[in-house]
Homo-oligomer: A and B are copies of this chain.
Amino acid sequence: MIRYSGQSRLLIAIDCIIFGFDGHDIKLLLIQRGLRPEKGKWSLMGGFLEPAESLDDAASRILKKLTGLEGVYLEQLHAFGDPLRDPVERTISVAYFALVDIHRYEKQLSTEYHAEWFLLKELPELIFDHTTMVRMARRELRYKAALHPILFELLPQRFTIPQLQILYEGIYDTTFDNRNFSRKVLSTGLLIKQKEKDKANSKKGAFYYKLDKRKYKANFQAFLNFIPNPDKLLL
């Protein structure tokens, strides 16, 4: 077998920043590290890249191993390669962030991996550079969510506009005018109104909506500033 000579080879890890939303707060799924060093400390779910799999495949595999979920939103965030980031041995980590509907995941919490949901605003200390990863993922999520209808990935199939608003308000740590918010969201044409109402949170009740998957996929582009007709330009 021919190989490139004279070069060093390194471990490749994948780490997953897993976001969830319980209806009130944005949460992050963490595990208690099973390996030494830092055993017992909180960590992102991760693993090593295997010889025959792509980075995306590895991220999916690792996410599934922890949550049992498939087909969730998963996107490469950044590669982290500081020489000292892992004290055991030099390791490059490719971080992915995932958006999961927290309700689809109510299983082996605290069993095999000692996994637990933490409030994004009250995270424990994390191993290595995982805090940096989370900070970058959070920033990226804010960024993307401002331009793309990505946060629907965190909601159940059926949801109300007020629920969506609480989610957005959590992401941006602010409050919006509910009247304008619902109109703006509906004006995208991405939502399909259902017949039933959610009466858990108010007396009047808020209509449920579902995402129009076709339009959702088709409208994933941006609509921007600084350029006259951005809609027509960006792919």
Contact = CB atoms under 8 A, between A and B. Distances in A.
A71 interface: no
A218 interface: no
Interface stretch (A17-25, A98-106, A112-120, A140-148): A140-148
B10 A143 contact: no
A9 interface: yes
A3 to B, nearest CB: 5
A156 to B, nearest CB: 21
B139 A235 contact: yes
Nearest to A233: B172
**How many A residues are at the interface, by size bracket?**
35 or more
B146 A224 contact: yes
A177 B228 contact: yes
A226 B94 contact: no
Contacts of A11: 4, 7, 9-10
Contacts of A3: 88-89
B52 A142 contact: no
A196 interface: no
Copies of this chain in the oligomer:
2
13 contacts: A2-B88, A4-B35, A4-B88, A4-B91, A51-B83, A53-B83, A54-B83, A139-B235, A145-B226, A146-B234, A180-B228, A223-B225, A224-B224
Interface in A70-97: 76, 78-83, 88-92, 94
Please provide the 8 A-B residue pairs with the shortest distance between their CB atoms, ordered closest to farther.
Answer: A55-B81, A9-B9, A146-B224, A79-B79, A7-B48, A3-B89, A172-B233, A79-B94
Contact of A54 (B49, B52, B56, B81): B81
Interface in A26-42: 35
A222 B48 contact: no
A12 interface: yes
